[in-house]
């Protein structure tokens, strides 16, 4: 059981790290897009960035679901013990 707990902790940490990185990327994409929107000739690039922003947001929702699934699976399989302890 200890190995399973450590494995789930590693998975959870990895998912949370990925989520933080995606959030940082999202902020950077938004800044660049806003800068591009100032120059009318850059609107096509801004439109492509908007698609990247939308995909990043979708990825974040998926990561949130995965994190909750890992926590739920752990809780179900290990009698509600705190996964983060």
Task: Report residue 4's pLDDT band, with 50, 70 and 90 as the boundaries.
Answer: confident
Q: How far apart are the first and last CA of the chain?
A: 14
Instruction: Note the pLDDT of residue 43.
Output: 87
pLDDT band for 84, please (50, 70, 90 cuts).
Answer: low
Q: Angle at which helices 2-38 and 43-77 pack, to 10 degrees? A: 160
pLDDT of residue 76: 77
- For 6-59, what is each residue's pLDDT tens digit? 888 899 999 999 999 999 999 999 999 998 888 888 889 999 999 999 999 999
pTM (two decimals): 0.76
Cα–Cα distance measured from residue 54 to residue 56, given in angstroms and rounded to the nearest whole number: 5
- pLDDT value for 16: 95
Q: How long is the chain? A: 85
Give one DSSP letter per residue of 41-67, joined into a string.
Answer: GGHHHHHHHHHHHHHHHHHHHHHHHHH
Q: Say if CB 53 and CB 29 are below 8 A apart.
A: yes
Residue 40: its pLDDT value, please?
81
* Residue whose structure tokens are 């983060």: 84
């Amino acid at each position: 059981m200890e190995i399973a707990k450590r494995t789930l902790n590693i998975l959870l940490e990895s998912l949370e790290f990925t989520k933080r990185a995606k959030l940082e990327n999202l902020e950077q994409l938004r800044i660049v897009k806003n800068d591009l929107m100032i120059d009318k000739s850059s609107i096509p690039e801004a439109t492509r960035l908007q698609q990247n922003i939308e995909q990043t947001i979708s990825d974040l929702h998926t990561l949130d679901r995965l994190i909750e699934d890992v926590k739920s699976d752990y809780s179900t399989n290990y009698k509600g013990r705190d996964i983060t302890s």
